[in-house]
Amino acid sequence: MLTKMNLFTDTVMYKALLEKDSTFEGLFFVGVKTTGIFCRPTCRARKPKKENVDFFEKAKDALAYGYRPCKICKPLEKPGNTPEYIQKILDDLAGDPSLKLKEQDLRNRNVEPNTIRRWFLKHHGITFHAYQRMLRINTAFKKIKKGDSVTNAAFDSGYDSLSGFNDSFKSVFGVAPSQSKEKQMLDLTRLETPLGPMIACANERGICLLEFTDRKMLETEFKDLAKRLNASITPGENKHFKSLKNQLNEYFEGTRKEFDLPLETPGTDFQQLVWKQLQTIPYATTRSYKEQAEAIGNPAAVRAVANANGMNRIAIVIPCHRVIGSDGKLTGYGGGVWRKKYLLDFEMNNC
């Protein structure tokens, strides 16, 4: 039976525990024999000796073995998932982006402002108040694009003055609202998957980016994408996100073998050719970089094909995880080789 934990040795998991490595969140739990509790890999508690730990793939396995959940890291709560109280706030903001929730408003909802600030910094890289400002800018930008006046767009989006709106707009887009005709907006959202949280971006034409949040190149991809599309990236709703979430859920449930989503993939002609060819690799099969080079009619371009694969911004949907070395080895993958192995094993077990 396929498991995530069998990808790692005890040595690898113990090292992750010592380093509090967040990339292992959700992949295993550790029981401490001397205390009788079990923890996440990232727990802040004092680390036990290696001979005093048991490793488990699931929390229920640790419970069945007699361990109690740690009160510090709370291993029974799903890692990466958006807490219910934060999801309610996100839903309210999506329904009315002009809504301004100040610290007292949060306390009235029994939400501690520092708690939500830390959550947004960790998962979005910005404070909660910055997130609200970006959401209002996103809404105003779309209103202007649809023909609304700058004044109406500003006040309908919750701004108290035109000068404040103009300053905020310039800080995001680099130009005044009246000069933003050529600019684009890329909406950004956070998705939760069995392999960890992902970030998605989309415009009116389709999905532009889908990456695991711990990808080292993510910031570089944001900058490159924004430059190529003359766009700014801000949190916001997009008509393509619902389909993306549904199809990803179906994929991880083993019921979807192909994705049917509009994609926006700016790049060179060669990159476009490679990315298009990637989408022809059937579910639960693999090809080598050499075979990919031959498939695009350029057998000498193996290294260039590998580089183009690495520049793919839409993980899983454009299945670069299905390309392996000629010797059968799993070479580099932006989301981590362990995820590549899991995806390939998962597809083989569901084909």
Collapsing DSSP states into helix, strand and coil, what is residue 209?
Answer: strand
Which has more pLDDT, 84 or 295? Answer: 295
| Angle between helices 162-173 and 128-145 in degrees, nearest 10 | 90
Q: Is 39 a catalytic residue?
A: yes
State the pLDDT at residue 2: 39
Query: Sorting pLDDT into bands at 50, 70 and 90, what band is 139?
Result: confident
CATH number of the domain residue 161 falls in: 1.10.10.60
Give the mean pLDDT of 150-157.
Answer: 83
Domain with residue 65: its CATH number is: 3.40.10.10
Among 182, 197, 229, where does a domain finish?
Answer: 182
Interval 158-169 mean pLDDT: 82
Pairing of strands 207-212, 323-324: unpaired
User: Among this protein's residues, is 320 annotated catalytic?
Assistant: yes
pTM of the complete model: 0.70
Helix (H), strand (E), coil (C) string for 87-104 = HHHHHHHHHCCCCCCCHH
Q: List the structure tokens of 134.
A: 């970006």
Whether residue 75 lies inside any domain: the answer is no
* Chosen domain end from 136, 161, 182: 182
* CATH number for the domain that contains residue 246: 1.10.10.10
What does pLDDT average to over the chain?
87
Residue 17 burial (CB < 10 Å; 0-12/13-18/19+)? Answer: buried
Per the CB < 8 A criterion, the answer to whether 55 and 42 are in contact is no
d(CA 165, CA 182): 19
Measured CA to CA, the distance from residue 6 to residue 17 in angstroms comes to 16
Of the chain, the percentage scoring pLDDT greater than 90 comes to 42
Task: Check whether 150 has a pLDDT greater than 50.
Answer: yes
Q: Dihedral sign, CA of 2, 330, 253, 218?
A: positive
- Looking at the fold, whether 217 and 241 belong to one and the same domain comes out as yes
Same-domain pairing of 203 and 342: yes
Residue 74 lies in a domain: no
Q: Residue 54 domain-assigned?
A: yes
Does residue 213 lie in a domain region? yes
Domain end residue (candidates: 148, 182, 216): 182
Judge whether 292 lies within some domain. Answer: yes
Kindly state whether residues 128 and 171 are assigned to the same domain.
yes
Q: Which is catalytic among the residues 39, 70, 73, 208?
A: 39
145 pLDDT higher than 80 = no
Catalytic residue among 43, 73, 201, 320: 320
Band of residue 71 on the pLDDT scale cut at 50, 70, 90: confident
What whole-number distance in Å separates Cα of residue 304 and Cα of residue 323?
A: 14
Same domain, 9 and 137: no
Query: Are 207 and 258 in the same domain?
Result: yes
* Of 244 and 173, the one with more pLDDT: 244
Crossing angle of helices 302-310/269-278, nearest 10°?
80
Residues 107 and 16 in one domain: no
Comparing CA positions, the residue from 289, 252, 254, 264 lying closest to residue 274 is 289
Q: What is the pLDDT of residues 277-307, one digit of tens each?
A: 999 999 999 999 999 999 999 999 999 999 9
Q: For residue range 267-276, what is the model confidence (pLDDT) as tens digits?
A: 999 999 999 9
Do 178 and 190 sit in the same domain of this protein?
no
What is the crossing angle of helices 113-124 and 84-95, to 10°?
A: 80
In the chain, the number of structural domains is: 3
Statement to judge: residues 214 and 268 lie in one domain: yes
Measured torsion, CA atoms of residues 267, 271, 277, 278, in degrees rounded to the nearest 10: -80
Alpha helices in 72-208 (DSSP H): 84-95, 103-108, 113-124, 128-145, 150-156, 162-173
Whether residues 231 and 173 share a domain: the answer is no
Q: What φ, ψ does residue 223 adopt, rounded to 5°?
A: -65, -45
Are both 130 and 232 inside the same structural domain? no
Q: Which domain holds residue 278?
A: 186-351
What is the per-residue pLDDT for 73?
Answer: 86
With contact defined as beta carbons under 8 Å apart, do 309 and 290 qualify? no
Distance between CA atoms of residues 132 and 267, nearest Å: 31
Give the Cα separation of 253 and 266 in Å (integer). Answer: 30
Q: What is the pLDDT of residues 168-211, one digit of tens each?
A: 887 777 777 777 777 788 999 988 888 888 999 999 999 999 99
Q: Decide: 8 and 27 in contact? Cβ < 8 Å.
A: yes
Same domain, 232 and 167: no
Task: State the pLDDT confidence band at 78, using cuts at 50, 70 and 90.
Answer: low
Task: Indicate if 108 and 209 belong to the same structural domain.
Answer: no
Q: What percent of the chain is predicted at pLDDT more than 70?
A: 96
pLDDT higher than threshold 80 for residue 317 = yes
How, if at all, do strands 287-288 and 323-324 pair? parallel
